[in-house]
Amino acid sequence: MKKVLTVILILAAAAALGFFLFNRFFPGIEIPFLSGENSPIKGIVCSYPVRVSGQSMEPLLKANSLVVFNKCISKTKNDLATGTVIVFSQDGPMRIMVVREKLEGESGIYYKAYPAARPQDFADVFPDDIVATYTP
């Protein structure tokens, strides 16, 4: 009986570690049957913790704070509200900005976004570049 409990505990720990590693290294990928509305582990699977570095997002997000973003956004990427905080990557490191405007151009829908403290540093962000969102 003790061996069975040990095996179950090891399997549970391996599954938790697997979820953590998958979530960390593949942030833009959703697993539909785990992230669905009725999934009991949706909160774990859809969580994307981010450590805020720098002061460009203050006062909205404090430097060095840990913010849990939602990475299960495939159905809502094309219709984000103004004020939504996004994590995105455009051929480089992940960046955090606030959506200020939704626009439509020749290439489709995109968002004008910028850090809370530096509106002059704006970026045009396409839905496919967005990894996760946070609504303050």
pLDDT for 70 equals 87
- Give CA–CA dist 81/102, Å, rounded: 8
Number of domains in the chain: 1
pLDDT for 37 equals 60
Dihedrals φ, ψ of 12, to 5°?
Answer: -65, -40
pLDDT for 85 equals 93
**Mean pLDDT, 10 residues at a time, the chain of 136 residues:** 82 75 63 55 72 83 87 87 92 88 91 86 91 89
* CATH number for the domain that contains residue 77: 2.10.109
> Which domain, by its residues, includes 94?
2-134
CB atoms within 10 A of CB 22: 14
pTM: 0.72
